[in-house]
Structures are given as structure tokens and as C-alpha cells.
Amino acid sequence: MTGVSPSCAGVGKAIDAAGEEGRAALIAYLPVGFPSVAGSVDAAKALIDAGVDALELGLPYSDPVMDGPVIEDAVVAALAAGARVDDTFRAVEALAGRGVPILVMTYYNPVYRRGVARFAADLASAGGAGLITPDLIPDEAGEWIAASEAHGLDRVFLVAPSSTAERLAVVAEACRGFTYATSTMGVTGERATLSGRARVLVERARAAGAERVCVGVGVSTPAHAAEVASFADGVIVGSAFVRLVSEADSAAEARQALSDLAGRLREAATLG
């Protein structure tokens, strides 16, 4: 790593800036290595140019237990093509400095296997803003919390509609950047409608002390974005973007499709 300085202080700053503009932040997810490492960076650049406020780069992992078939198939293809942990850091480095914070979405085993302190140092050196860790709970995250503090990295933990008030408070206290609220109990993927439990979960998380709450899992259309923007600080979209990449016949077609959807989602997330 060459020690790239990120262009933003963190994802919290980006979310707050979007709020000051009268809209919910748009946070986009893409897996590193799909359709190739270079292709995933190219796709991410298209999303940044289209106005997303933050970017989640998925670290390819062999057992993506939270992910539905669209993302799972993309990750399997990325691994089969040879994508590895170091490619994620290289992707972060290629995208850092373009005006938006770059988070890495990863299951915890790759972090543990690399060494938590080393992973945090490499991510910070590449210009990354922090980690989203879907299978790590704060109770077991002491080493990561210490490493993130040492390197000034955001840490995003998840809450679900089933989370108790006590659990919400623990997660809210541990998060830095935002708290990730899952709209439903289940894996990622596009859905026709969103559960009404998402609004209640955001309200409960805020009551428990969460400074910023962003909603993902199932959010995929402009109508969803408008709905989520009415009660949350950020809109997280993943599978809909990944599907566009998988269906495109060329890199140019993928860039155009990603840009079009990101523009419509951002517009829909504007509070009126």
C-alpha cells in the first residue's frame, strides 16, 4: 500500500452532507472482482461519477451467508476468476480520493486470518474509510474496535427487526459512521415491497442512541429509496446494481445502466 489519504473524513461526514442537501445518502454496494477486478473498479467509478455518497466494496468470500443469489453468484464468479483479499485493498486504493468514502463489506474470517491489526493498517493505508462486518457482533469485536480506533476507521455493525432494545443500545454505542438496519429478516436481494418493520427499526435504533441509521437489504427501486429516505439517514442498494453488471453485454453498457439507476435512486431519495 502506498498510503493514500481518503478524500473524506468518513462515511458519517458524507451522510451528514447529504442531509444538509435535503436528501438521504445513497450508499452503493459492488463486489470486488466481478466481472473482473478492473471491471469492478470501473463499475464503482461509474457509480461515484453518478453521485453516490458512499461506496461499499464487497470482499469476495466463499460463504456469504447474508447474501442472496445475485450477489452470491457474483462473488463465486469473482473467486473463480482469482480475486483475493489484496485485490480489495488495490480496489480501495484505486477509488480513494474520488470524493466519497470507501467502505469494505466483509465477513470477519478474512480479517481474522490476515490479522486484525494488519488488516486495519492495510485498509487505512489504501485510503479506506472503514468496515461493515455483517457476521460480527460488538461483544466479540474488541480487537477490531481497538484496531479501528488506532487507524481512525469507521465500523458499521448491523441491527435487525428482531434486535432487542438492549442489543440496539450495544450496537449503537459500538458503531462509528452509521448503524446498518436490515429492512427484513433474510438475505440480500431485490424485493417488490419493503417491510413496514424497517421504519420501526430505525425509530428504535435512534431511541437506543444510534446517531445515523441507514437501511439496506431489499432496497432496490426508486420507490424504495423514496420510502426509506422518509425515515432513515441513508439508502443502501446492492443487488440491483450487481444485477445490472451481470446482465450487461459490455463494460460500457454496465456503466450506463449503473449511472442511470444511481441517478434515479439519488433523485428519489431527495426529501420533498
Q: Kindly list the catalytic residues.
A: 56, 67
How far apart, in whole angstroms, are the C-alpha atoms of residue 173 and residue 176?
8
Rounded distance between C-alpha atoms, residue 250 and residue 232, angstroms? 35
Q: Is residue 23 a contact partner of residue 270, using CB atoms and an 8 Å limit? A: yes
Contact at 8 Å (CB) between 153 and 92?
no
Question: What b/e readout covers 211-227, taking b as 16+ CB neighbours within 10 angstroms?
Answer: bbbbbbbbbbbbebbbb
Which cell goes with 197?
418493520
Cβ atoms 28, 56 nearer than 8 A? yes
Angle of helix 69-80 versus helix 239-247 axis, rounded to 10: 60
